[in-house]
Amino acid sequence: MPLTPYTGPFGPPELRHLLRRSLFGCSLGDMAHFNGMSLSQVVTELLTFTNNTTPPLKTYWLPNGGTPDPALLDPDVPFGSTWVNTPRAQGLNPDPSFARRQSLGAWHVGLMIHQERNLREKLVLFWHNLLVTQSSVVQMGETYYRYVQLLRNNATGNFRQLMYAISTDPAMLIYLNGYLNVAGSPDENYARELLELFTLGEGTGYTEPDVQAAARVLTGWTIQLTSGGNPIIPQTIFVPFLHDSTDKQFSAFFNNAVVQGATGVNAGQIELNALLDMIFTKDEVSLHVCRELYRFFVHGDISPQAETDVIEPLAQLFRNNVGAPDQMRIVLDALLTSDHFFSADIRACMVKSPADFVVGTLRELEMPMPAATVPEAQYRVWTEVYALMGYCGLAIGEPPNVAGWPAYYQAPQYDEMWMDSATYAIRKQIYEYFTVVGLSTPNNLYDPASEGLTFKPDLVALVQQFSNADDPNVLVSEAADLFFTVPVSQSVKDQLKTGYLLLGQVNDIYWTNAFQTYVGDPNTTDPVAQLVPVLLAGLFVDMQGAAEHQLL
């Protein structure tokens, strides 16, 4: 039975729900961009994108007698240029590895902040959580960059092709010891996670001997770091004499299949393809991937009814398109246009992840950001946002273990794990900081044009995009649409209006006159009108602290 498509109304509430799950936050600009489109048109645009990103840059340096000097760190890369294609020279002291990885993390967060209006950045995070590697384990930023690009290039592509690519990716070979997996001394690390976490799922019926056999299939893949004695960008190679060329017997779970041993320079490719072909004969692959999609985009807890009505038909669609180059796009299109996705109990049913909360808040407030002409300022601000996300529990590039972030798999709490007494306090500091103080750059940078810059949201300009910000009732109502994922009562809106915009007054004209005066002359000497930005900041801080703002 196919997944039931959604046929109900598709107005602003439905559009906001879809965009909040597809993007990081839902800004006024996002709503305006998609206004008037049908559900099918919106989802088609969300799923239509390319990997048009530009690579991360060197904006790091070390002090030289108190003066910033880029030549002291990663000297082969000019300041403001990308480092991704420059091998790290041997014996560098200090080693630029950490600086490159920090640059990569900032770049990744910058792409999330400045995301195009499509699913690319959300899907990169999804795949990063499913096909896990850790930057601090891989160590080499240039290798980790290629892993991230692999996810971008295949975000809506064919899962079987992605699994071949990730199995031979240098970052994955390093992270799960694939480069140490050799004939006579097989390392089972990647083989185990290939079956347990990446394709079939834990407890689906494969055996310990299956893991051992898969490890033998995967022997011989390793990493080349030098050529002719000179460092190169790390690349995957297959070494035939390190490969176990004997036949590999699998259990009854795989219908007692045998992967025939191969020899020669193509043996690794031949056996890896045979292994993946065998794994992909199992329906468990489609079910596992569709459950992971559901937990990321819909809800952590999959009810028996959701398993029957959503997961099983979605998995069948996955299998029906097993050879399609856009297999994942087809599956995601069905999920995001399904009746289940728009059901009342699915809307606002999850706690926002740190990425949704931190980046979403920046986008909803329309926080200004440094221009590309001052890359050092850009990377300073992006690095700060990266750190804030990490404080909330999600550091890009650093999942806590090979299973990913617990909020996407740990039953029964799931997304509730994002929120506790510690992380809520940090979230409170973040939205207050963003709304009232903003972001800034220090005064001791290499590029003078990047120094001492401040980026603060213009709340007056933000509410001027509302239909009628002169009317405090309209302003509060449309601010609630922007910040709240759950409708609030009129009495709550009245309390917000009276407490913040009217300062306890009973007549709406108090706000109307003050706002009109301030907009007419921001340098006004009228004492009430001067308070307009302060009143808006107080209102927005209060609204962002509400439970309705923490939900997705």
Tens-place pLDDT, residues 499-537:
999 999 999 999 999 999 999 999 999 999 999 999 999
Beta bridge partners of 258: 249
Summarised one tens digit per residue, pLDDT across range 60-101 is: 999 999 899 999 999 999 999 999 999 988 888 899 999 999
Q: Across residues 266-272, what is the average pLDDT?
A: 98
Q: Residue type at 409?
A: Y
Helix or strand holding residue 306 (H, E): helix 304-306
**Predicted local distance difference test score (pLDDT) of residue 119:** 98
Average pLDDT rounded to a whole number, residues 282-293: 98
Phi, psi (5° rounding) for residue 230?
A: -105, 145
Closest CA to 141 of 77, 62, 198: 77
SS3 237: strand
Q: How far apart are CA 184 and CA 54, in angstroms?
A: 43
Contact residues for 191 (Cβ-Cβ < 8 A; gap 6+): 181, 211, 212, 214, 215, 217, 218
User: Which residue(s) pair with 259 in the sheet?
Assistant: 248
Q: What is the pLDDT of residues 381-404, one digit of tens each?
A: 999 999 999 999 999 999 999 999
> pLDDT-based confidence at 2, cuts 50/70/90?
confident
Within 13 Å and on the Cβ side, how many CA atoms surround 441? 24
Q: Are 371 and 259 in contact (CB under 8 A)?
A: no
pLDDT at 1 over 80: no
CA–CA dist 284, 533 (Å, integer): 55
At 120-133, the pLDDT tens digits run 999 999 999 999 99
Residue type, 51: N
Segment 181-212, tens digit of pLDDT = 999 999 999 999 999 999 999 999 999 999 99
Q: What is the pLDDT of residue 91?
A: 83
Average pLDDT over residues 154-158: 98
Confidence of residue 490 (pLDDT cuts 50, 70, 90): very high
SS3 290: helix
Query: Is the separation of the CB atoms in 34 and 46 below 8 Å?
Result: no
Residue type, 224: Q
Q: What is the pLDDT of residue 90?
A: 82
Per-residue pLDDT, averaged over 453-471, amounts to: 98
Check pLDDT > 90 for residue 498. Answer: yes
Question: Is the omega angle on the peptide bond into residue 170 within 30 degrees of 0, that is, cis?
Answer: no
Asked if residue 253 has pLDDT above 90, the reply is yes
Q: Which residues lie closer than 8 Å to 284 by C-beta, 6 or more apart? A: 199, 200, 201, 204, 205
Percent of the chain with pLDDT over 90: 98
Half-sphere exposure in the Cβ direction for 12 (13 Å, CA)? 10
Output the six-digit token pair for 286: 């489609």
Is 223 in a helix, a strand, or coil?
strand
**Cα distance between residue 223 and residue 178, in whole Å:** 9
Q: Check residue 178 and give its pLDDT.
A: 97
What does 409-446 look like in DSSP terms, one character per residue?
T-TTTGGGGG-SHHHHHHHHHHHHIIIII-EE--S--S
User: Does 344 have pLDDT greater than 90?
Assistant: yes
The answer to whether residue 424 scores a pLDDT higher than 90 is yes
In this predicted structure, what is the pLDDT of residue 232?
A: 95
Tell me what the mean pLDDT of segment 461-479 comes to: 98
Query: CB burial class (10 A; 0-12, 13-18, 19+) of residue 7?
Result: exposed
Tell me the C-alpha distance between 167 and 161, whole Å: 10
Q: What span, in angstroms and rounded, lies between the C-alpha atoms of 278 and 257? A: 8
Q: How many CB atoms lie within 10 A of CB 226?
A: 11
What does the mean pLDDT of the chain come to? 97
The three-point CA angle 399-108-300 to 5° equals 45
Compute, in degrees rounded to 10, the torsion defined by CA atoms 319, 321, 326, 328. Answer: -20
Structure confidence at residue 342 as a pLDDT band (50, 70, 90): very high
CA angle 488, 490, 494 (to 5 degrees): 110
**pTM higher than 0.95, yes or no?**
yes
Q: Count other C-beta atoms under 10 Å from residue 3's C-beta.
A: 21
